[in-house]
Amino acid sequence: MKYRLRFWRKKEAAASPYLAHIHLPWLGAAVLTTTLPHIYHLPVWLAAFVVLLLLYSAVQWRRGYRVTPAWIRVSLVLLACVGIAFQYGFNPGRDSGVAMLAVLSSMKLMELKSRRDSVVLLMLCHFLLLTHYFYSQNLLTGLWLIFSTLMVTATLLHIHTDARVSIRPLLTFSARLICQALPFMLALYLLFPRVSGPLWGMPQDAYGARTGLGNSMSPGSISRLYNDDAIAFRAQFIDAAPPPRRQLYWRGPVFNHYDGRVWRNGDSSARAPSLEKRGQPLRYVMTLEAHQRNWLLPLEMTEQAIGLESRMSASGVLWSTQPILSRTRVEMRSYLEYRLETDLSPNRRNNNLQLPENYNPRTLALAASWRAETEDPRQLAARALDYFQRENFFYTLDPPLSGANAVDDFLFDTRLGFCEHYAAAFVTLMRAAGVPARVVTGYLGGELNPVDGFLVVRQSAAHAWAEIWVADAGWLRIDPTAAIPEDRIAPDVRAARQITAPEFAGQAADWLQRARYRWEALNNRWNQWVLGYTPERQREILAALGLSDPSLRNILFTLIAVLGVLTLAFVFWLLYPRHPKPTDPALRVWQKALAWLRKNGVATPPWETPLALARRLNATHPALLNLAQLICAARYEGQTPRSANLREALDAVRRKTKDR
């Protein structure tokens, strides 16, 4: 038969209904839509393997389709398992699990024998849809998943209906099914008790690769982020406008131990430093993207987050007690004027004067010559900044590789570096001159989105600066990179600015920038109201809706009651007798004509035929006869009148009416 698949094993195929040949493209499209976004996350060889499997299935369909022999399928499964084991190791996790799902769903197309096999494949596609949120939870991912769900549901309908059904009715009916499920989905989303973590435990890699700043700083660790346009966090200021850029230092990890190549945090003290707050606090709400670390990146200086368990480390870094594994919304209060740790203990002082032995002799000699002239920390810092400004230093993303004495090479030979080079060299000079100093990393500045008023800070804003300790003043921020004149910024930095910040590219990119602002504002609303629906926000909404005691028991009772009411309403809607609209266009036009006549006081008994009614009303409605003849020709003589002719006849009935 033309629409039947031919199988090698007739007996096995006879046990279940046959699949029509036209069903296979739908199944392939369902697998493609659910697998396609994962191609970006899979290794190149594995992505190519999945694509080849899909192409092979398409060729098989064009040739009439025969189930692939078992020995080929088993060989391909073993090959994929071995490759995935070598790629990800033998520990189960997110990446290896998604890779296996993508491979198995693609290979399932090679062994379809019955409708039951296709149902198994579609259930696998539904499960694969959930895994996309392991990598991205933005609005674009949500829209793609809605489209994929629509496609998979339409395919499920297609394999259980006539193979010749067109695409539009299937997609329409699938959309209706999804819309019918929306009230239940919204009720579950709003009322199901929220938890502060994931509903199930997975290995650490299920939360994604760590992004942004790291636990150490070495040459290139900050500059590699300069081309990264991903958002690190957003901030919305509550009582005032955002401060100027020179005050937007978002404090992250602090490093005070140097081994000649890498800066790390060597302060093991658990006691937070003293903080003297000055002026009024600046209130704002941060929405942190998941970076898998504990630091919270507030404006300098913040002692504690509001609504999140946190503490200040010995280096003045605000830490959360739990890693930021998902998008987190937290309120902050920062003091832009402060004095941090005015009394430095001998142990802390020694930690911030530490330098590796037998490294960077020329740097030590230069600092010693400055110290012979003055011991004032502020004057020594000014000498270092003047040295960066006066000498021929350049700000570049691609400095040459340095040797064992990295600071010497930078200060006296290459004089090419990024912010981490300047911060490391400055701190080394200060320590060699007897001034306690340390490296601070974080983010500088931000980009105000005029659509929603949020300040957006991207990974490209990652920065490194320095702090020196001065008696009676505490730790003072010094940004040595700011000493580099604008004309000594290398072309690679300027080019990267144009890519990561289109406003630097001129008026030609204004439309692109406006579009990006609108999209990011829309995505931010999705983050705030959908992904940011925390237990605290749920309690606030339920309290606003009248649930005075939003305890777990009351929430569950409310959820059960709402679901029960929705179920009864849905059953009533299904059982309520309705008169479906006719699908025949001629009959629809005739019913419109009858409705118009009844509206004008004309009796139209249901047993009266169109021609009989037209002859009876010919005196007052002469145009009705022409319409009745067209209707009868379409209904009983097999003719197909044009829709335009039917509409013209109906309009004539409405216009040409004689007075009684």
Determine phi and psi for 407, rounding to 5 degrees: -70, -40
- 3-state helix, strand, coil split of the chain in percent (to 5) is 50, 15, 35
Percentage with pLDDT > 90 across the chain = 24
The amino acid occupying position 514 is: R
φ/ψ region of 601 (left if φ > 0, alpha if ψ in -120 to 50, else beta) reads: left
Whole-model pTM?
Answer: 0.70
Sequence spans of domains, the chain:
10-165, 216-505, 585-655
φ/ψ region of 297 (left if φ > 0, alpha if ψ in -120 to 50, else beta) reads: left
d(CA 513, CA 499): 11
Strands (E), 98-229: 216-217
Tell me if residue 479 is catalytic: yes
pLDDT at position 17: 55
Which tokens sit at 447? Answer: 């980009």
d(CA 254, CA 301): 13
Exposed e or buried b for every residue in 509-521, given b needs 16+ CB within 10 A? eeeeeeebbeebb
Determine phi and psi for 130, rounding to 5 degrees: -65, -30
Residues 6+ apart with CB under 8 A from 393: 415, 416, 417, 422, 484, 488
Residues 6+ apart with CB under 8 A from 402: 219, 409, 410, 414
d(CA 155, CA 145): 15
In this structure, of 86-95, 282-291, 358-367, 589-598, the range with the lowest mean pLDDT score is 86-95
Whether residue 504 is predicted with pLDDT greater than 70 in this model: the reply is no
Tell me if residue 376 is catalytic: no
Residues 6+ apart with CB under 8 A from 154: 26, 167, 170, 171, 173, 174
Q: Which of 41, 117, 419, 421 is catalytic?
A: 419
- Higher-scoring residue by pLDDT: 22, 216: 216
pLDDT digits (tens, 9 = 90+) for 557-593: 888 888 899 899 888 887 877 666 666 777 888 888 8
Whether residue 15 is predicted with pLDDT greater than 50 in this model: the reply is no
Q: How confident is the model at residue 508 (pLDDT cuts 50, 70, 90)?
A: very low
d(CA 595, CA 604): 9
User: Are β-strands 257-258 and 474-478 bridged in parallel, bridged antiparallel, or unpaired?
Assistant: unpaired
Q: Which uninterrupted H or E stretch holds 442?
A: strand 437-444
**Average pLDDT of the residues of the chain:** 83
- Higher-scoring residue by pLDDT: 402, 381: 381
How large is the average pLDDT for residues 629-657? 76
pLDDT at position 431: 95
pLDDT at position 333: 93
Q: For helices 23-35 and 94-107, what crossing angle results, to 10°? A: 170
Which tokens sit at 283? Answer: 């209130």
pLDDT digits (tens, 9 = 90+) for 28-79: 899 999 998 888 888 899 989 999 988 988 888 888 778 888 888 889 889 9
Q: How far does Cα 224 stand from its chain's mean position?
A: 22
How large is the average pLDDT for residues 527-534? 74
Based on the number of CB atoms within 10 Å of its own CB, is 75 exposed (0-12), middle (13-18) or buried (19 or more)? exposed
Q: Which of 41, 132, 158, 463 is catalytic?
A: 463
Tell me if residue 463 is catalytic: yes
Beta bridge partners of 283: 333
d(CA 135, CA 95): 10
Beta bridge partners of 310: 320
Most distant CA pair in the chain, distance: 121
pLDDT at position 426: 95
Which tokens sit at 70? Answer: 């078992």
d(CA 536, CA 539): 5
Percentage with pLDDT > 70 across the chain = 88
The amino acid occupying position 132 is: H
Q: How confident is the model at residue 299 (pLDDT cuts 50, 70, 90)?
A: very high
pLDDT at position 272: 85
d(CA 144, CA 544): 33
C-beta of residue 296 within 8 angstroms of C-beta of residue 320: yes
φ/ψ region of 330 (left if φ > 0, alpha if ψ in -120 to 50, else beta) reads: beta
